[in-house]
Amino acid sequence: MEQEMAEPVRGRVKCVVWDLDHTLWDGILSEGDEVRPRPGVEATLRTLDERGILLSIASKNDAGPAMAKLAELGLEDYFLYPQVNWGAKSQSIARIAEAFNIGIDALAFIDDQPFERDEVASVHADVLCLDAGEVATLLECPELQPRFITDESRRRRQMYRSDQQRNESEQDFEGPRESFLASLGLVFSIAPADVEDLRRLEELVARTNQLNTTGRIYSHAELDAFRVSPRHELLVASLEDKYGEYGKIGLALVEKSGRDWTIRAFLMSCRVISRGVGSTFLNWIVNRAREAEVHLFADMVPNERNRMMYATYRFAGFQPHAKNGGAEVLKHELAADAAYPEYVRVRSFVPSGESPAGTV
């Protein structure tokens, strides 16, 4: 079937999933062919990786020989959560999206077989399905061209590789989940955004769909205006543990109008939401507001994709307060200090005299 696509959205693809036979390489491995990477493939993989676009595999092959061949060709390290099996590729695509914790519409799939592309498109209409013949011009696709490339973009694969190690350790860990999290030595840092943070924050806003409380995308210029505005506070959150840095993974925009503070934007990277740091970030803001003796509100535009963020607000003690068109206004009563999970240490880099109680 012919897949109908909307207008290209620049940079919407976060992960490119590759078939192997006659796509990534010439020949069919299981038939004994001496396979070699197709011309230009290695350079394409390297460029996509440098752009911060993740790579995976959905191939009908025997996993052992296929992965051994990738290692022999020096390509294995590029691919995370590869799905090499004899099942439907639509199922492999779904598992990859779940493993990365990204929306299915953030994936592209490359295969030489029309049947395989049609099978995936019939199940996942939002996946960008491409013919292997398009590999030569793949880098020109608007969907694969981020607006900018940051240091975190270039390190994205390694950060996800660390996530994979964490996930494997968690699966092997015997005991309560809180004990596992405590074993990580999590350190959550919050600071006012500076000019060097803006590109990463713009990237975070543009890439974060599921965990964005309003869905609004702010430009670099808008973020910079908020950064220097006396009525706003633009906060950036980072996370690290014994496996390394997660990078800058959260943003909060607080508007201050007299004794009313309103969280206009709040979002977290999908890579860290399972660590419970969304509530930690909100609790930090709650404690600051309580210390300042103000009223604390939050904007929320609920939809199917950001239900987890609505739950995060409610879990942190925010209650429905008013309706504003399609948006909800939530309010926190600030009745008591908000506690942080015992397994995470919170560090504040807010200038002296503004730090809330309970941070270090």
| DSSP string of 143-188, one letter each residue | GG--S---HHHHTHHHHHHHHHHHHHHHHH--S-HHHHHHHHTEEE
| Burial (CB count within 10 angstroms: exposed 0-12, middle 13-18, buried 19+), residue 357 | exposed
Q: Please report whether residue 256 resides in a domain.
A: yes
How far CA 66 is from CA of 11, 21, 76, 168, 214, in Å, comes to 30, 10, 10, 22, 43
54-58, 115-119, 184-188, 301-305: range with lowest mean pLDDT:
301-305
Q: Is 80 exceeded by the pLDDT of residue 211?
A: no
User: Which residue, 94, 111, 144, sits at the end of a domain?
Assistant: 144
> Residue by residue, what is the 3-state secondary structure of 55-93?
EEEEEECCHHHHHHHHHHCCCHHHCCCCEEECCCHHHHH
Distance in angstroms (rounded) separating the CA atoms of residues 195 and 169: 36
Task: Quote the pLDDT of residue 354.
Answer: 45
Q: pLDDT tens across 140-198, in order?
A: 999 999 877 888 888 889 988 988 888 889 889 988 988 999 999 999 999 999 998 99
User: In the listed set 112, 144, 176, which residue is the last one of a domain according to the structure?
Assistant: 144
Least confidently predicted of 52-56, 118-122, 338-342, 350-354: 350-354
Residues 244 and 162 in one domain: yes
Judged by average pLDDT, the poorest of 211-225, 280-294, 329-343 is 211-225
- Asked whether residue 1 is assigned to any structural domain, the reply reads no
Claim to verify: residue 202 and residue 312 sit in the same structural domain: yes
Q: Are 132 and 112 in contact (CB under 8 A)?
A: yes
264 lies in which domain range?
Answer: 152-348
Q: What distance in Å separates the CA atoms of residue 334 and residue 290, rounded to the nearest whole number? A: 6
Q: What is the pTM of this model?
A: 0.73
pLDDT over threshold 70, residue 8: no
Confirm if 262 and 298 have CB atoms less than 8 A apart.
Answer: yes
Instruction: Give CA separation, 83 vs 7, 24, 76, 111, in Å.
Output: 29, 14, 13, 14
**Whole-angstrom distance, CA of residue 86 vs CA of residue 83:** 9
Specify the amino acid at residue 164.
Answer: Q
CA distance 320 to 100: 32
Of residues 157, 128, 154, 132, the one with CA closest to residue 41: 132
Does residue 356 sit within a domain?
no
pLDDT at 355: 39
Task: Choose among 233, 333, 330, 338: nearest CA to 279.
Answer: 338
Average pLDDT estimate for 87-101: 95
| Residue 235 pLDDT class (50, 70, 90 cuts) | very high
Kindly report which listed range (159-173, 182-196, 201-215, 313-327) carries the lowest average pLDDT score.
201-215
Q: Are residues 33 and 132 located together in one domain of the fold?
A: yes
What distance in Å separates the CA atoms of residue 188 and residue 282, rounded to the nearest whole number?
A: 12
pLDDT classification of 292: cutoffs 50, 70, 90: very high
Residue 343 lies in a domain: yes
Output the average pLDDT for the chain: 90
